[in-house]
Structure 1
Amino acid sequence: MTDIDLSGVFPAMCTPFDEDERIDFETLQRDAQRLETAGVDGLVPVGSTGESATLTHDEHVRVVEAVIEAVDDVPVIAGTGSNNTREALELSERAADAGADGLLLISPYYNKPEQRGLIEHYRTIADAVDLPQIVYNVPSRTGRNIEPDTAAELARHENITGFKAASGDLGQIGEIVERTADEDFAVLSGDDALTLPILSVGGSGTISVAANIEPERTCAMVGAALDGDYERARGIHHELGPLFRELFVETNPIPVKEAMAIRGYGPARLRSPLTRLAEEYRDDLEAVLDDLERERTEVADATEGDR
């Protein structure tokens, strides 16, 4: 198994669609290159933000292949989770064959397995696919929390090397960091508003929605925190705070796709049952994006003036 350094910023990529709801591969690849150029540490296609729930298995694989083809020097971690263990295993094997560097596996949703079922699910895939694998805990989507005991047990498997934490429970996340400290195991934020707090208790990075829009700032915040410069990290966190809030006024990825369209990075189209951002939120989102762009311009002008 090839190791991945799971520290830093890993944007959870959007999947762009054309007017006929087909995947827009040209825009997808251009976006992957934009993010790589911005300095991210890896890319995560076909997760929740990539609308994996409405992609066919063949589309999953084609998206992964397209992102791998587009980038030069960053790992690609493919979302391959499912509430069906056999299906998750098949997706994982196909992503591995496509050349993915790692896997992100959401915990089984809807059928709500017990903790022993979660352990069996993840071990089945980890035993069969020799790639670094990240366990993804997001109880608001799945209806089931991955308990610290379960996370600690899974961390002992050599192929399970990370945990994407989106429970919103900082106490639980801190406990998982503590209990896996002796393992080769990274705890990553899965909630942009909690990335800095998670880093402060020993997290190693973030699988981020906001990094699609502000990759440079997100990388600067995470890099500062990992270097111990929390004063700078806090400053950037508060700059990005309004964006964090606007990106979750409706179900992800509805707002981030609207933001991508406003910035000119990709279309706002989503596959049903998701819909475009409600009009009542658009003005606030545009205002936040304008403020961030103005701040960027002012910093660039000041830097130029100092030369």
Structure 2
Amino acid sequence: MRFDGILFFPLTPFGPDGDVDLDVLAEHVASGISHGAGGVFTACGTGEIHALSAAEHTAVVARTVEVVAGAVPVVAGAGGSVATAAEQARAAEAAGADAVLLLPPYLVAAPQRGIVEYVRTVAAAADLPIIVYQRGTLVLTPETAAEIAALPAVVGIKDGVGDLGLMHRIVLAVRQVRGEDFTFFNGLPTAELTVPAYRGVGVPLYSSAAFAFVPEVADAFHSAIETGDPLAGRLLAEFFDPLVGLRDRSPGYAVSLVKAGARLRGVPVGGVRAPFVDPTPEEEAELAALIETGLTLVGKG
């Protein structure tokens, strides 16, 4: 399984009745594919996995697989209790997903050997490759990362912690076990800001929340960073950095602002589910101005 380009984390649309809108999801995913997504990570953090029922999670994964139709890998989120994560992994396999992104066991602090068993148990539940998402209650030592990487099903680690020293040590430890046959991802919110730093420690791939609502800007940044175009610096200074400032005003805005951005671009994804909250009208106006700035910078305004 190989990823090339930006990793796309679709939103989960909710209709006026509050139910998941699978038709809007299909259009949203298809749009991401048309803009060159290198992989689709569905029903994950940006897709509000924490707020989905088991049936909704399965439906979202199945419709995503149907729309992508093998064009790029589809990775389904799984997490929470070990039983829930295992159930979600089995459902993802049945729906035709290509891999699982394993999120932390929420609100449960555990020793390193417990984290290994969490990963091992979920990996045994389904015959799918596993990407382990380091964040929250799941933070690895280099030694634990190497032990997890030695599990045949584990093919990658996505980092959402942002400790570059730790991540460099994890990369070095895992490479001793798996060589180059292992994938690392920069999974920080608004990862564009840290792309150069992560590349410096051997982590070239990154997820882009911006791709879910301004794929034109996300694509232009990706191309610019690859070619050394000064446009990358302008986008960081005038779009991504102000976006982070807006995002950091409230917990959950890493998702809420993305949904608001999609609505501003005409995609009826609805609002977020509790306990997240939607941005205020004033914040949505700031976001609209940022979107216009970003599109203007890339010649799409």
- Report the TM-score when normalising by structure 2: 0.88
- Inter-CA distance 209–42: structure 2 relative to 1 (3 Å threshold): same
1:155–1:183 CA contact under 8 A, matched in 2: no
**How far apart are 1:201 and its partner, in Å?**
2.0
Match of 2:54 in 1: 57
Q: Which amino acid aligns with 1:297?
A: G
1:186-209 CA-to-partner distances (Å, cap 9, x unmatched) read: 110111132332123211311221
2:260 to 258, 261, 268: 258
| SS of aligned partner of 1:208 | coil
1:292 pairs with 2:298: no
Q: Which amino acid aligns with 2:206?
A: T
Q: Which amino acid aligns with 1:173?
A: M
Match of 1:81 in 2: 79
Q: Which amino acid aligns with 2:281?
A: E
Mean Cα deviation higher: 227-236 or 61-70: 227-236
2:44 to 36, 47, 56: 47
Query: What is the CA–CA distance in structure 1 between the aligned matches of 2:208 and 2:295, rounded to whole Å?
Result: 19
2:30 to 18, 29, 33: 33
| Gapped regions of structure 2 (runs ≥ 5) | none
**How far apart are 1:292 and its partner, in Å?**
1.2
1:105-138 CA-to-partner distances (Å, cap 9, x unmatched) read: 1121212111100001101222342222110112
Query: What RMSD, in angstroms, separates the aligned Cα atoms of the two structures?
Result: 2.2
| Gapped regions of structure 1 (runs ≥ 5) | 300-307
Match of 2:281 in 1: 279
Match of 2:153 in 1: 159
- Inter-CA distance 295–183: structure 2 relative to 1 (3 Å threshold): closer
Match of 1:108 in 2: 105
Query: What is the CA–CA distance in structure 2 between the aligned matches of 1:202 and 1:7, rounded to whole Å?
Result: 15
2:162 to 142, 162, 168: 168
- Inter-CA distance 248–102: structure 2 relative to 1 (3 Å threshold): farther
How do 1:98-247 residues align onto structure 2 when only pairs under 5 Å count? 98-139=95-136, 142=137, 144-181=138-175, 182-191=179-188, 192=191, 193-222=193-222, 225=225, 229=228, 233-234=232-233, 236-238=235-237, 240-241=239-240, 242-247=242-247
| SS of aligned partner of 2:55 | helix
| SS of aligned partner of 2:218 | helix
Query: What is the CA–CA distance in structure 1 between the aligned matches of 2:266 and 2:280, rounded to whole Å?
Result: 19
Match of 1:11 in 2: 8
Mean Cα deviation higher: 7-16 or 20-29: 7-16
**How far apart are 1:179 and its partner, in Å?**
2.0
**How far apart are 1:33 and its partner, in Å?**
0.6
Q: Percent identity?
A: 31
**How far apart are 1:149 and its partner, in Å?**
2.0
- Inter-CA distance 117–298: structure 2 relative to 1 (3 Å threshold): closer
2:217–2:294 CA contact under 8 A, matched in 1: no
1:55-77 CA-to-partner distances (Å, cap 9, x unmatched) read: 11111010001111112311110
| SS of aligned partner of 1:134 | strand
**How far apart are 1:240 and its partner, in Å?**
4.1
Mean Cα deviation higher: 127-136 or 94-103: 127-136
Mean Cα deviation higher: 32-41 or 248-257: 248-257
Mean Cα deviation higher: 268-277 or 237-246: 237-246
Query: What is the CA–CA distance in structure 2 between the aligned matches of 1:78 and 1:163, rounded to whole Å?
Result: 15
Q: Which amino acid aligns with 1:23?
A: V
Match of 1:66 in 2: 63
Mean Cα deviation higher: 204-213 or 228-237: 228-237
2:235–2:294 CA contact under 8 A, matched in 1: no
